[in-house]
Structure formats: C-alpha cells, structure tokens
Amino acid sequence: MKKIVLIMVLICLSAFICAPVFCADMKDYESYSPDEFPKWSLDLRRAECIFFGGIPIAYPLTALAFSVANKDTSFVQNLAIACSVSAAIALIDYIIGVANAT
C-alpha cells in the first residue's frame, strides 16, 4: 500500500515539474471568438451544465422529500426522479432563454 501511495505522489510531483516544459508554447494561445460556435451548440452546452450540475442538488432533496413522506424508495428511483427534476429545470432555463432572446 505504501508503494502505491509513493508512486502516486511521484506521478503528481512529476506532473508539476514537467508542466512548464509541455506548456512552453502557450504564449500563442488565442481565445475563442464569440461567433466560433453555433448558437445551438452553446445552448446545448448550457443545458448540459445545468442538467449535470442540478443532479447533485436534486438527489438529496428528492431523498429527503421521500423520507419525510415516509415513502420507501430505492436509489435508482430517487436518481430517476432527480434526473427528471434536473432535466425539467434545464428545459425551463432554455425556454426562458428563448423567450428573452426575442
């Protein structure tokens, strides 16, 4: 076990030591222009971030709500409900964004 931890620490330290060598050409970096990606891909990325970011918040709240209601649910049922809630929030955000754009 000690050998594995030592190897992992050495890998992490070597990454910090070698990073300046591999990132030396970062001076030529150009940021993305506003029109580089189509609107639908930016909307999809926003929905993805909201969906996957909402699941860790929605899952404990779902489990808490069912435990308060004395309903016996499994992990998969709670996760499915949390995903549905998170998808609904992402869809509502998209609809509000479309309504505000016009």
pLDDT in tens, 46-93: 999 999 999 999 999 999 999 999 988 899 999 999 999 999 999 999
Q: Which residue has the tokens 């001076």?
A: 27
Please give the tally of structural domains in the chain: 1
62, 86 contact by CB (below 8 A): no
At 15 the pLDDT is: 66
Give residue 93's domain range.
Answer: 37-101
| Residue 69 belongs to a domain | yes
Higher pLDDT, 59 or 14: 59
| Residue 21 belongs to a domain | no
Residue 16 — very low, low, confident or very high, per pLDDT cuts 50/70/90? low
Q: Greatest CA separation found in the chain?
A: 61
